[in-house]
Amino acid sequence: MKPSKIKALKAKKALLLFPGIRALTWKGTVYCKRKSDIELINATDDITSDFECHELIHVRQAESTKDSWFRFYALYLWYWIINLPLVITGIRIPYYFIPFELEAINNEMFRKYPTNGPVYQWKDFKRIKFKDKYKLARRYNNLYKPKMISFKEFVRTVVRLSIENG
C-alpha cells in the first residue's frame, strides 16, 4: 500500500528487530517488540502517544519520497551509512542523526503534525554537514547527556536551532 493511502496505523508483533530498535513501520503496519506498544497503537485510530505519532511521521516521510516505501528505506539506509563514522561518539549516534529520525523526534509530540499529508522537515535536517553532526554529537555527550537530558530534548532545542540558524 502506498504511504499516501495510509490513514491509521496497525501494529503487530515483530519476529525479529535489531537490538535497540523499538519498532519498524512498513506499509502502515508497525512491527513492535513490546506488547504494550502493540496495544497502544491498536487501541484506537487516533494518535494517542509520541510513539504512535513518531511512526506515523515516518509514513508521511515515505509519502514525501515520491510515495514510495522502497525509496524511503533506501534513503534511510543511505543516511545511516553516511553517519556510520559517528559511531566513535556513541553506538546509537549514526541512527539518531538520520534526517528522518531527527524530524520524527522533533515533531512527535505534535499529534496533528503527520495528519495533513507528506512532511518535508527531514530535508532541512539532511543539510547538516557531517562535521557539524560530529560537533553536535560531542556536545550532546559532553554537556547534555551527563545532565540527564534526553537526546529528544537535545534535538528539540539544540539541533533544531542549529538548522534554523544555518
pLDDT at 165 > cutoff 80 = no
DSSP for 37-78 reads HHHHHHT-SS--SHHHHHHHHHHHHHHHTTT-HHHHHHHHHH
User: What's the CA gap between 59 and 2, in Å, rounded?
Assistant: 9
Q: Is the pLDDT reported for residue 100 higher than 90?
A: yes
User: β-pairing, 29-32 with 23-26?
Assistant: antiparallel
| DSSP conformation class of 117 | S
Tens digits of residue pLDDT in 128-154: 999 999 999 999 999 888 888 899 999
pTM over 0.85: yes
Mean pLDDT of the chain: 93
Judged against a pLDDT cut of 80, whether residue 166 lies above it is answered with no
CA-CA distance, 100 to 123, in Å (whole number)?
Answer: 8
Q: What is the pLDDT of residue 146?
A: 83
